Amino acid sequence: MEDLSLSTLIWLRMVRFVQNSNQMSNTHLRRFDLTIAQFEMLSHIRAYEPVTQSDLAKGLTVTGGGVSRMVSRLEGEGLISREQDWKTKFISLTDAGRQRLEAAYPAQVAFQSALFDEALDEDEKKQLHALMKKLYEHSVTRREAEEAL
């Protein structure tokens, strides 16, 4: 295998961490009958409800088709509802969706926090947070510039 730059190695390590974290979260969230994608969608809906499907796709960085399939599934399970207001459909949590998320949320936050608390001290967590924030903000700026072309 060719020599990879440090930047490439960092990117690969980040991808592997996120994949591993998501796999562990999927296993952890099974007891709440949720996947990590469903958990993230329900959390986003709760934060911004009522939310349009296009805003939901944008906020989760998922394709419109991917959001549409998941919205249909969650609606079929009675966890969300869609209400039409002229041409726009607004998505909100149902009581069942709110209860499921309220049961899962603290457990999921504690589970994910433990991954960092067990491996990093406070200074390392602060440094990692600052670096991830810097990378994220740069990626948003770069994506917006590329979309403007």
Pair 49, 65: CB distance under 8 Å? no
Supply the pLDDT for residue 149. Answer: 85
Q: What does the pLDDT average to over 123-143?
A: 95
The per-residue pLDDT for 143 is: 86
Q: What average pLDDT does the chain have? A: 92
d(CA 29, CA 97): 14
pLDDT > 90? residue 93: yes
Domains and their CATH numbers in the chain: 6-118 (1.10.10.10)
Task: Find residue 119's DSSP bridge partners.
Answer: none
Q: CA-based diameter of the chain, in Å?
A: 57
Q: What is the pLDDT of residues 57-87, one digit of tens each?
A: 888 877 878 888 999 999 999 999 998 888 8
pLDDT on residue 57 = 86
pLDDT band for 1, please (50, 70, 90 cuts).
low
What does the CA dihedral 69, 15, 46, 125 come to, rounded to 10 degrees? Answer: 170
Do 48 and 55 meet the contact criterion of CB atoms below 8 Å apart? Answer: yes
pLDDT digit string, tens, across residues 28-44: 999 999 999 999 999 99
Reported as half-sphere exposure (CB side, CA atoms, 13 A), residue 122 has a value of 0
Q: What is the end-to-end Cα distance of the chain in Å, rounded?
A: 35
pLDDT at 24 (0 to 100): 96
Mean pLDDT of 45-56: 92
pTM: 0.84
